[in-house]
Structure 1
Amino acid sequence: MLTSPKDTNWTVAGAKARLSEVIERAQSSPQTITKNGKPSVVVVSAEEWQRKTARKGTLAEFLLDSPLRGADLDLERQRDEPRDLPL
């Protein structure tokens, strides 16, 4: 249950009983639901979720922008024999 209006932590029982309030408060700040006294899930607004999960470019762009690009790393593959696995 919430202990004060600014509190953002809920028990599972409290969140179930006041789900509309959890959702309403999640529009302005993340709401944490605890289970057995430990944080279990966080409820955030759809807008916040989209912002956090939006792709920020392609893998190629990420690799091209890498600070390791041009670092002349030795990435030679080991040529060990395959290991025997039990059947």
Structure 2
Amino acid sequence: MWTLQDAKNKFSAVVEAALAGTPQEVTRRGRPAVVVLSIEEYHRLLNSAVQARESFADHLMAFPGGDLGRPDVAPRNVDV
């Protein structure tokens, strides 16, 4: 894991490690901020996500459904 300042100072090393197959995590102000990874790994992850994603229609059709019904509510008095 790299701090942002170290990653800036040694960016070539960050890139080389990512190209070697090890994603490089960078923190900013002590918190995880970004990951540097090779373009091949990026495309692999992107293609995997696209293939696993279902269509919006499939998502809607998977709704458990059933009759949700409406609550029995008395109308309010408007003659006041």
* CA distance in structure 2 between the partners assigned to 1:72 and 1:36 by the alignment: 44
Q: How does 1:36-47 map to 2 (within 5 A)?
A: 36-47=29-40
Q: Given the superposition, is the C-alpha separation of residues 48 and 75 from structure 1 closer, same or farther in structure 2, using an over 3 Å criterion?
A: farther
Correspondence 1:59 to 2:51: no
Counterpart of 2:3, as a letter, is T
Higher helix share: 2
Q: Which has the higher contact order (CA 8 A, sep 6+)?
A: 2
Q: Percent identity?
A: 31
| Structure 1 stretches of at least 4 aligned residues deviating more than 2 Å after TM superposition | 75-78
* CA distance in structure 2 between the partners assigned to 1:20 and 1:33 by the alignment: 14
Q: Given the superposition, is the C-alpha separation of residues 75 and 20 from structure 1 closer, same or farther in structure 2, using an over 3 Å criterion?
A: farther
Gaps of 5+ in 2: 71-80
Q: CA deviation at 1:74?
A: 1.7
Alignment-derived partner of residue 15 in structure 1: 7
TM-score, with structure 1 as normaliser = 0.58
Larger radius of gyration: 2
* Cα deviations by residue, 1:5-52 (Å, 9 ceiling, x for unpaired): xxxx00111101111110110121110111111111111110111011
